[in-house]
Amino acid sequence: MKLTEIRLQRLKMKLNNPFRNSISAVNAKELYIITAIDEAGIEGYGETVAFDTPWYTEETVATNRMAIESWLIPLLREKTISHPEEITELFSVVKRNQMAKAAVEEAIWDLYAKQTETPLYQLLGGNRTKIAAGISLGIEPDVKDLLKKIEQKVIAGCPRVKVKIKKGWDMDILREIRRHFPTLPLMADANSAYCIRDLDYLRQLDEFDLMMIEQPFEDGDFADHAQLQRAIKTPVCLDESIHSLQDVRTALELGSCKVINIKIGRVGGLAEAKKIHDYCFARNIPVWCGGMLEAGIGRAHNIALASLPGFTLPGDIGGSAHYWKKDIIHPEVVVTNGEITVPKSPGIGYEIDRDAIRKYLIEEQIFPL
Ligand SMILES: O=C(O)CCC(=O)C1=CC=C[C@@H](O)[C@@H]1C(=O)O
Ligand SMILES: [Mg+2]
């Protein structure tokens, strides 16, 4: 592929809607835009998705930077690759650091798609022209604020709403939501707020006809999740537990869940995300595309991935305006009647908004290959 340069740009972007879950509150996002440049000057883009502190997984903005600069860029100098699928193997000498690997791999997929004049979604095997855009709503100071936000999304045609729960903000809140929206496709995400001692308490979830309960227990608790899934009818979905196809195999063989949330960053890139999709699709296990409060480049990659046929459930992929005053791509991602049209131009299908990037830029560095 003859890469000549990798550019790192660190941005800081303030969120329109500060996002609170069971562990953390995110008001602004810092991220790296990774640009992979070839000898013809074609540019491919990727985005890091880790947060400032390691509350979601062990990675952070700072560890992403260190991994990319210290280990991943040197590996790109060692070997010329001819296809982005070779990146997983090339980076395999570095343990984990999935979000760092994914951001670089995304940039190389976008570059390859542009070199071959193919839309990224087609390159990945996607066949949807539109994807369903669900929304994830954080914990609010008052349930009335949450009900108002849900109502706005329902009026706009949102196909499903996900709410965050934790101890003290769970059964009563879900009951109240159901009182106002009895048939709304609804799910709840606990971000590991519970443990196996809460099993009896969690049986109450079956009252609310939820599409699923996402990540009730800790990351490594496959056996406990299996025990819970045996005890409740509500499907368990795993998010933080899934770092690779191997984790999906473990979860499905133990019966730890019935649904998988795929996040490109959490599983180390698009190639692994596609492998997980293919594995689940062959076994009729529904998957959906999770979100990490991405800016436009990460969101564009999510849209391409979510066009694959096994993504049968709406993802956490809101429109740009839900997150940012001004996104870093144009056109911005727009949700119409609960759907996003998958762009058809080569690569990720969106242009970079250089003025917006300049506005958010804190630091830039170029690494020759
Ligand atoms: O809109 C999005 O990008 C999804 C936001 C969202 O629900 C999450 C983002 C990051 C971490 C979590 O709090 C949560 C999730 O667990 O899915
Ligand atoms: Mg989650």
pLDDT of residue 175: 98
Same domain, 178 and 223: yes
Query: Could you give the CA distance from residue 48 to residue 125 in angstroms, rounded to a whole number?
Result: 23
pLDDT single digits (tens) 304-351 = 999 999 999 999 999 999 999 999 999 999 999 999 999 999 999 999
CB-count burial class (<10 Å; 0-12, 13-18, 19+) for 344: exposed
Q: Do the annotations mark residue 353 as ligand-binding?
A: no
Over residues 28-56, mean pLDDT:
97
Given the residues 101, 162, 263, 274, select the one marked as catalytic.
263
pLDDT of residue 357: 98
**CATH code of the domain in which 241 resides:** 3.20.20.120
Active site (annotated) includes residue 344? no
Amino acid at 21: N
pLDDT single digits (tens) 248-297 = 999 999 999 999 999 999 999 999 999 999 999 999 999 999 999 999 99
Pocket of ligand 1 contains residue 22 by CB under 6 Å: no
Percent of the chain scored above 70 by pLDDT? 100
Give the pairing type, strands 130-132 and 339-341: antiparallel
Element housing 76 (H / E): helix 73-78
Element housing 188 (H / E): strand 186-189
Pocket of ligand 1 contains residue 292 by CB under 6 Å: yes
Given the residues 29, 101, 114, 164, select the one marked as catalytic.
164
Same domain, 334 and 296: yes
Active site (annotated) includes residue 166? no
pLDDT of residue 22: 80
Q: Within a domain: residue 249?
A: yes
Pocket of ligand 1 contains residue 194 by CB under 6 Å: no
Over residues 106-112, mean pLDDT:
98
Give the pairing type, strands 186-189 and 213-214: parallel
Query: Could you give the CA distance from residue 150 to residue 214 in angstroms, rounded to a whole number?
Result: 18
Report the residue among 158, 164, 293, 327 best suited for mutation to probe ligand 1: largest number of ligand atoms under 8 A from its CB: 293
Q: Within a domain: residue 39?
A: yes
CB 214 within 8 A of CB 240: no
pLDDT single digits (tens) 284-302 = 999 999 999 999 999 999 9
pLDDT of residue 347: 98
CB 290 within 8 A of CB 239: yes
CB 304 within 8 A of CB 124: yes
Which atom number of ligand 1 is nearest to the Cα of residue 26?
13
Q: At residue 21, does pLDDT exceed 90?
A: no
Give the pairing type, strands 3-20 and 361-368: antiparallel
pTM of the predicted structure, to 2 decimals: 0.97
Q: Which domain holds residue 31?
A: 3-117+351-368
Average pLDDT of the chain is: 97
> How many structural domains are present in the chain?
2
* Continuous H helices in 156-221: 171-180, 199-202
Q: How confident is the model at residue 17 (pLDDT cuts 50, 70, 90)?
A: confident
Same domain, 322 and 364: no
Q: How confident is the model at residue 16 (pLDDT cuts 50, 70, 90)?
A: very high
Same domain, 68 and 163: no
